[in-house]
Amino acid sequence: MTELYLIAHCVRGEAAFDVAAQMECPHCMPIEPSADFLPIPEEGCFECEGNGYWWIIPTSGHRAFPYWSLHFENILGDDAIPDMPPSWPDHYKVNAAPKVDIKALFKSTQPQAARIARRL
């Protein structure tokens, strides 16, 4: 499981709390290092401000810019989060989408007017 944090960050101009995880910065920690992606050591990485990681909201995949963070273990103390039961319902349903005939949406129910042949 990914290490989770409670963060405070700005959402639409308002302070908001969210759950976030740290992700390695793809610019300064690339999977396949090459001279094109590595930052200049004296300057550090511009994308992660030299931290080596980004903050990601796992439920949406959006990047966050927290001004405060706290590791979940520090919130709970000695209490641990129990493992999720295997058959627990998901809040985001992943059922098959209904089949829609797109062509039928554009068919007109009114009879078409007779076409007039035009000469140019």
Give the domain ranges of the chain. 4-76
pLDDT of residue 106: 77
- Phi first, then psi, for residue 76 (nearest 5°) are -85, -15
Cβ-proximal residues to 29 (8 Å cutoff; 6+ apart), any chain? 52
pLDDT > 90: what percent of the chain? 22
Q: Which residues pair with 64 in a beta bridge?
A: 55
pLDDT of residue 58: 92
4-11 β-sheet, strand order: 63-64, 53-56, 14-24, 4-11, 68-71
pTM of the shown model: 0.56
Using 50, 70 and 90 to split pLDDT, how confident is the model at 17? Answer: very high
pLDDT by residue (tens digit) across 46-60? 788 878 888 999 988
Angle, vertex CA 63, rays to CA 97 and CA 31, nearest 5: 95
Buried b (16+ CB within 10 A) or exposed e, 53-69: ebbbbeeeeeebebeee
More confident residue, 42 or 76: 76
Cα separation, 66 vs 55, whole angstroms: 8
Mean pLDDT of 35-46: 57
Q: What is the mean pLDDT of the chain?
A: 78
